[in-house]
Amino acid sequence: MINFMTKTQDVNFKLEKFDDSILLDSINRLVYGTKAEKLFKQGQKKHSRIFFLLDDDYRFLQWISPQKNYTKSRIYLNDIKDISREIHYKVKNKNDQHFLRIQTHNYELVIQFFNEKERDQFQCGLQHFLIKAQHHEFLEKRQDQVKHLANILFISADKDGNKQLDLEEVKKLLQELHVSVNKKYLKQLFQTYDYNQNNQIDQGEFINIIRDISKKDELLTIFKQYCQSYNQQVSLDQEGLMTIEEYQLFLQEQQKQNVPIHELLELFRNINNVQINVIESAKTSKDLKISFYQFSNLIFTQENSVLDIKHQEVHQNMNLPLSDYFINSSHNTYLMANQLTGDSSCQAYINAFLRGCRCVELDCWDGENNEPLVYHGHTLTSRILFKDVLQTIEKYAFMTSPFPVILSFENHCSVEQSKKIAYYLKTIFKDKLFTVPKDYEKNIYFKSPNELKGKIIVKSKGKVEQVISQQEIHECHSSESDEEEGQSKTDIQLIDNQIIPDYSEIHQKTQKTQGKKVTIFMQKNKEEQTQILHEKMSRQGMSPCQSREQSFINNDHQKTNQNNHMKHPSNFQVLWEKQERNDDYHNVHKDEDNYSESSNIILRASKEQFTQRPNLISKHTYQVQKTNGDTQSIGEIPANVEQKGESLEKLINLSQLEIFNEKIKNGFAQKENNGEIAQQPQKKILNTNPDQISDTNIKEQSDKKNKKSKKQKPSKICKELLEITSMFGCKMDLKDVNRQCWYISSISEVKYLKLIKKCPGVLIQMFKKSFIRLYPGGMRVDSSNYDPIKGFLSGAQIVALNFQTPDLPMVFNLSKFQENGGIHSGYVLKPNYMLHHSKKDYIPTLMTKTVKVVRIQIISGQQLRPEDYEQDTFDVVDPYVQVFVKGTDFDENNNKPCVTDVVYDNGFHPIWNSHVFEFRFACPELAMIVFRVMDSDVGIDTQLGIYAISVDCMRPGYRMIPLRSKSNLELIDHSFILAKIEIEEIIQRYTIQ
C-alpha cells in the first residue's frame, strides 16, 4: 500500500531553473507586490496592475482591478496548468519585451514586465509558492477533506474580504453549492455555529457548518459494522473510534486489500498528526484511532479512487516492440476548434501533450519567405509557422512522459520548403531524432518505448530503401496522406446518418431560363451506389435528391425548373442545381466564359487574397432542403466569413461545393501572377454536356479513369526529409503479410469499420507487427470524433482523435490511457493475444462467453453542480446517475444502461443507495463502464459530470468515482460519486505481460 500521507504532489509542467541567490528577492517581490502590465484582448490593450500574494493565504495570486470584485481578480495557484514566457499572438516588438503567461483550466493571464530581472524574480517566486501550495493542499486533503473544502469555499464566499460571513453570504454560498435549505433551518444553523453571537461566521465556525451539512451518514452503517466501540447515544467526536486492527479488517473484507499493520500504523500517525519514535510505536499503536469523520476522509480521497492505484503509475512492460502498444494520438493537432474556421495555435500542441498525447499531426504548406506553414488547407483556419510548432514540441514533448513522440506529417510543401522542414527538424531536435539504422533489414520489429525514450519519430512519405541507398531522389510512388489513403472523396459512405456523395463521373449542364443562368450537376447512377442511396433515403422518408448533404437548390430556380420542365437523361440523378447571379463580380470576368461557368464557391485566391480573406463567396444564394420537405434559406453568405457559430453551418455546406467544384472545373488551373489569378487551359477531364452523353461514352470515360487510377501519380520527395524519416506511409494491403516494420498505413474510420466487420482476425494478425493509423472521416467538419474503442478492438496502434473537441469519444480515449500511468506514459500495452509473440487467435468482436461480472451500487454524490453555477444559483439541481457499457457490440447489447432515481433539490450531497446494477462481460480487457451524472430538468436533461474507466482497472469496495467536466474534460475538484463495487472473475483468459 502506498503511504499517500507522505507522498508529494508533482507539478505537471516544466519549471524554469533559477539560481538560489535570487530566491529571497523573488519571495519579497510576490509578498510585497510587483507592478506590471496586464494584457487584454490578445495584446491589443494593457493596464497597469500590482500583483501580489494574499497575506493570509499564499495560495492566491491577487491583483486589483478598479471595476471588478477582488475575488474575480485572482488565480488559485493550484489551478495553474502552465507557466510560460511565450505568447501566441502578435505584439509589436515581441522579442524585446518580457512576458509571462499563466494558464489555468479556463483562464489565461498574460503579464508584461518592465525588464528581464523583474520577470525572472516574479517567476521564481511564483514557482516557489506554487510548489508549496500544491504540497500543502495535497496533505490537507488527506488529513481532513471536509476542512479543506470548507477553507476553499470560505475564501471564495468572502466577497468583501473582511474574513467574516453574514447570513446572506452563507445563504448565497449554499445556493452555489446547490443545497436546498429553507430560511428557518438556515437561520437556526447560523445561530448554532455563531459561537461569538456577533451575527458573523468566521472561518473556523464555517468549517463546522460544512461538516454538518456534508456528514456522510451513508457510511455510518459500514462504520458501525467494524467499530466495536461505537455508541450511537454519544457524540462521534468523543466516542466510536476505530482502531488500526478494525480498519485493517475493513480493508480486507470490503476493499479486498491486504495492508501490513506497520503501514497502517504510519497512516494513522499521519492522520492524527502524531510524531512517535519507531521504537515506541508498538507500545502506543493501541492508542491511535480514527473518528467517523476521519474514516469518511479515507473513503473520500483520490487514493480511494475506483481506478486501481497501480495504474496511476507506469507499471506495464515497456520493452516490447512499439507495435505492441496503443499510442495516444491526435488528429489535426494544431487546431483549437473546428477544421473550417478554427484557429491554429501552438497552444493546441501544448494541450495535447499535457493530456498524454504521443502522436501529433502537422499539415504543412508552402508559406511566404520560404517559411513553411501549418494549417488546414483550403479552409478559413488561421496559419502558424512550422518553426514555431517545432519549438513548442521540443519544449513540451517530454514534459509529462519520457516515451517517444511521433510526428505525423501531411506534407503539401514544395521540395524547396520541404528542405526547410528537414533543416528545422535537424537543428531543433538534433540527436533526439530517431533515424533508420543501416541494418534496418534485420529489424523484424520496431524498437521498444524504453529504447526510444526521449526520441522523436518522423512519419512521412517515402521508402525505407531510399534512406539507406543514398540514391538521388526525384520521384517516389509511395504516397500516404489522409486524403489519399482512407475515406476517398470518390467513395459513397454513411457517417452519422449523413450521405457522402460520389464525385466520380459528374457532369454539368448549363441552361438559361427566364433570363437566369442555371447549372445542373448530375452523375451516372451506379447500381450499387443507387441501392445504398435509396435504402438510406427510404429509411429517412426522402427521395434520392432530398439529402441534406446533396441539396443546394435555390428556391426560385426550383420553381422555374418545375415550370419549364428542364430535361436531363433518365439514367442520371441530379446532385445540385446552382443559379448564378448576374452581379458585378461576374461582370468582371465576363470575357472568361469558361471560368464564370464553373466559378468556385470558395476561390483559390493568391496568398495575399487568401490571407486577407476577402468577400469571395458572397455571390451565391442557396437553400438547404430538409428531410421533411421544407426549405431553410442559408441566404447570401456574408463577407465576413470568420463569424463563428452562424457561419459554420454555411461553411459546412459550402465545403461540399468546394470539393465538388474541384472535380468539375472545366480544365482551368489557377496560378498566381503578381497577386492576380491567371487561367491556363488544361485537358478536359469530364464531358460537361449531358445531352451528348451515351452509355458507351460513359463507359469509355470510366475505363480511362480506372486505367489512370492504376498508375499512381508520382510525387516529388525531399531527400533531406527522407533521411530523417523512420515511419514511412504506404497503401494498406491486407495481403502484404511480410511488410517491414518501418511502414505505416493511414485509413479513415469509414474504411476501417468496413474492414473490422469483414475480416477482424486478419486485422489483428496484421497489426501485431504492422502499424496502422486511423483518423476521423472527412465529413466531420465540426471536428467531432468517432468511437476509439472500435479501433482498439483490432489492435490498431494509432487511433487519432480531435483533442480540441471534448466529446464522449475523447472521454473514452482519456480513460483508455489511464491504464498505464495516464499522461505520464501515453502508451498502453495491448491484450496478450494481440502481442507480436502471441499464437492465440482470440477475436474480440466474436467473443460471447462471460468471463467477468461487475456489480455496482451507486450510494451518494458530492458537489454536483453545473459549470455555470456562479451565474445560475436559483435552480437547484436534481441529479441522477446513468451507468452504461462501451466495448464490443456483444458486451454493449448484452448490458442495458442503468439509471438511478432522481434526488430532488440537492446537488451538494445527494444520497441514492440504488439497486445493484449487474454487468456481464465477454471482452472486459477492451470494455469500459461509463458513469454520467445528469440534472433532471423540464425539456432536456443536462450533464453535470462524466467518468469512464476500463473494466480491468476497477477496484472493488467502497470507491470514489471522480467526474470530468463537460467543457474541457478536466477532473472537477471535490465533485464525485460514491459507489460500492463487486468484481467476480469467472475465467482468467490471459494476463498482461
The structural domains of the chain, with segments of one domain joined by +, span 20-143, 146-213, 217-245+258-299, 322-479+715-818, 494-707, 844-985
Residue 25 near residue 43, CB atoms below 8 Å: no
506 pLDDT band, cuts 50/70/90, is very low
Minimum mean pLDDT among 62-66, 118-122, 367-371: which range?
62-66
Residue 355: pLDDT above 70? Answer: yes
Phi, psi of 905 (to 5 degrees): 55, 45
Residue 510: pLDDT above 80? Answer: no
Residue 132: pLDDT above 70? Answer: yes
For residue 550, the model assigns a pLDDT of 37
Considering all CA atoms of the chain, what is the largest pairwise distance in Å, rounded to the nearest integer? Answer: 104
CATH code 3.20.20.190 for 322-479+715-818:
yes
For residue 239, the model assigns a pLDDT of 61
556 pLDDT band, cuts 50/70/90, is very low
pTM greater than 0.75 = no
Residue 111 near residue 264, CB atoms below 8 Å: no
For residue 55, the model assigns a pLDDT of 64
303 pLDDT band, cuts 50/70/90, is confident
650 pLDDT band, cuts 50/70/90, is very low
For residues 701-713, give the mean pLDDT.
Answer: 49
645 pLDDT band, cuts 50/70/90, is very low
For residues 518-527, give the mean pLDDT.
Answer: 48
For residue 89, the model assigns a pLDDT of 67
Minimum mean pLDDT among 256-260, 278-282, 919-923: which range?
278-282
Residue 904: pLDDT above 50? Answer: yes
225 pLDDT band, cuts 50/70/90, is very high
Distance CA 907, CA 865 (A): 6
Residue 826: pLDDT above 80? Answer: yes
Higher-pLDDT residue of 617, 49: 49
For residues 339-365, give the mean pLDDT.
Answer: 95
Alpha-helical (H) ranges within 490-618 are 527-539, 555-564, 584-588, 593-597, 607-612
Residue 38 near residue 111, CB atoms below 8 Å: yes
Higher-pLDDT residue of 356, 778: 356
Q: Could you tell me what percent of the chain has a pLDDT over 70? A: 68
413 pLDDT band, cuts 50/70/90, is very high
Mean pLDDT is highest, among 180-184, 535-539, 665-669, for: 180-184
Residue 104: pLDDT above 60? Answer: yes
Residue 523: pLDDT above 60? Answer: no
For residues 831-850, give the mean pLDDT.
Answer: 93
For residue 753, the model assigns a pLDDT of 95
Closest CA to 612 of 340, 380, 346, 335: 380
Q: What are the angstrom distances between the C-alpha of 720 and each of 366, 729, 852, 987?
A: 17, 17, 53, 54
Q: Which residues contact 610 (CB under 8 A, 6 or more apart)?
A: none
Q: What are the angstrom distances between the C-alpha of 819 and each of 167, 307, 814, 823?
A: 47, 9, 9, 10
249 pLDDT band, cuts 50/70/90, is very high
Residue 379: pLDDT above 50? Answer: yes
Q: What is the CATH number of domain 20-143?
A: 2.30.29.30
212 pLDDT band, cuts 50/70/90, is confident
12 pLDDT band, cuts 50/70/90, is low
For residues 34-43, give the mean pLDDT.
Answer: 82
Residue 121: pLDDT above 60? Answer: yes
For residues 118-124, give the mean pLDDT.
Answer: 92
Higher-pLDDT residue of 930, 107: 930
Kind of pairing between the strands at 879-886 and 384-385: unpaired
Residue 248: pLDDT above 90? Answer: yes
- Measured CA angle at 213 (ends 207, 214), to 5 deg: 85
Residue 515: pLDDT above 60? Answer: no
899 pLDDT band, cuts 50/70/90, is very high
Minimum mean pLDDT among 16-30, 491-505, 640-654, 899-913: which range?
491-505
For residue 362, the model assigns a pLDDT of 97
Sign of the Cα torsion 141, 146, 147, 152 reads positive
For residue 95, the model assigns a pLDDT of 58
Mean pLDDT taken over the chain: 76
For residue 554, the model assigns a pLDDT of 38
CATH code 2.60.40.150 for 844-985:
yes
Catalytic residues: 331, 376
Residue reference for cell 512492460: 317
Kind of pairing between the strands at 359-365 and 405-411: parallel
Sign of the Cα torsion 885, 887, 893, 894 reads negative
Residue 918: pLDDT above 90? Answer: yes
Residue 52: pLDDT above 90? Answer: no
For residues 677-704, give the mean pLDDT.
Answer: 41
Question: Running DSSP on this structure, what letter comes out for residue 433?
Answer: B
For residues 247-263, give the mean pLDDT.
Answer: 94
**Helices vs strands, H then E, count in the chain:** 28, 37
For residue 392, the model assigns a pLDDT of 95
Q: Which residues contact 824 (CB under 8 A, 6 or more apart)?
A: 313, 314, 356, 400, 401
Residue 92: pLDDT above 80? Answer: no
For residues 921-938, give the mean pLDDT.
Answer: 96
Note the pLDDT tens digit of each residue in 536-550: 455 545 444 443 333
Radius of gyration, alpha carbons of the chain: 32
For residue 374, the model assigns a pLDDT of 97
Distance CA 218, CA 224 (A): 11
Residue 126: pLDDT above 60? Answer: yes
For residue 503, the model assigns a pLDDT of 38
Note the pLDDT tens digit of each residue in 854-870: 999 999 999 898 887 65
For residue 207, the model assigns a pLDDT of 84
Q: Which residue(s) pair with 84 in the sheet? A: 101
The H or E element that residue 169 is part of is helix 167-176
CATH architecture classification, 146-213: Orthogonal Bundle (1.10)
500 pLDDT band, cuts 50/70/90, is very low
Distance CA 351, CA 401 (A): 14
Residue 565: pLDDT above 60? Answer: no
Higher-pLDDT residue of 96, 437: 437
CA 39 centroid distance within chain: 28
Residue 884 near residue 898, CB atoms below 8 Å: yes
Higher-pLDDT residue of 874, 465: 465
| 844-985 and 322-479+715-818 share a CATH fold | no
